Amino acid sequence: MMSFDIAAVLDYLIKLLPAIRITLVIVVSSILLGLIVGTLVALPQLYNIPVLKRLSQLYLSFFRGTPILIQLFLFYYGLPELLKLVAIDAARVPALYYVILTYALHSGAFMAEMIRAAVAAVDRGQVEAAYAVGMSGLQAFWRIVLPQAIATALPVFANLTIANLKDTSLAFTLGVMELTGKSQTLGVMSRQFLETYAALAILYFILSFVLERLFHLLERRMSRKGMAGI
């Protein structure tokens, strides 16, 4: 009969703590890069730039319509082969960089839709009123559009960040020793898979809960500022 060792769970919790750093590196790097990519992709959608709009739609369809695991394999195994065509040897590039690139592009597709929807949600009449009182286009964007768009996008951004955190569990398939990769190694060595995965689940829950609370506090703070400005 299989027994569950609670003391082993606590032990694995401690052993998994160093791997949190790699997980957070993936999350923070890919989210920041994803914001940049998402902004660049959203612009053709917002300003209806014909050719670039088509390309951005193709990008969105691919990264939103295919599993991230497949995207990881395509970039890890396929990108070095493509780079060989231009005499660039990427064979020694650490797998972590491919993971960050893939997650950034994957997140960027969802960020683009978030940005487009948030900007489009701002009442056009407010922008026209800003022009009427003498604001330039840039001033109207920074003072009127951006604050409201951020407030609208923040809950979606929070969900995307937490989803990104949980999706990093697939990075172990490329040999990256983040939380899931480390737990796999510990489980194989000790044969205590149940205890290892229990510890892993607890850490993911704690990280997700902390992120959720931080974003909730940020939303409340922005809401108070918005009410104060009325």
| pLDDT confidence of residue 48 | 85
pLDDT in tens, 34-64: 999 999 999 998 888 889 999 999 999 999 9
CA angle, 53 then 113 then 208, to 5°? 150
Which helix H or strand E contains 176, and what residues bound it? none
| pLDDT confidence of residue 150 | 86
Q: Residue 229: pLDDT band by 50, 70, 90 thresholds? A: very low
Do the Cβ atoms of 160 and 118 come closer than 8 Å? no
| pLDDT confidence of residue 225 | 63
Domains, the chain, in order of start with CATH, read: 6-228 (1.10.3720.10)
pLDDT at 205 over 60: yes
Q: Report the C-alpha gap between 96 and 178 in whole angstroms.
A: 10
Q: Which one has a higher pLDDT value, 94 or 221?
A: 94
At 85 the three-state DSSP class reads coil
| pLDDT confidence of residue 132 | 80
Do the Cβ atoms of 184 and 172 come closer than 8 Å? yes
pLDDT in tens, 125-159: 777 787 787 777 677 777 778 888 888 899 999 99
Q: Which one has a higher pLDDT value, 89 or 124?
A: 89
Note the pTM of the prediction, 2 decimals.
0.89
pLDDT in tens, 16-36: 999 999 999 999 999 999 999
2: how many CB neighbours lie within 10 A of its CB?
Answer: 4
Q: Residue 226: pLDDT band by 50, 70, 90 thresholds? A: low
pLDDT in tens, 65-111: 999 999 999 999 999 999 988 888 888 899 999 999 999 999 999 99
Give the helix ranges, DSSP H, for the chain: 6-16, 20-47, 50-65, 68-73, 79-84, 95-120, 124-132, 137-140, 146-167, 179-190, 193-228
pLDDT in tens, 179-202: 999 998 998 888 888 999 999 999
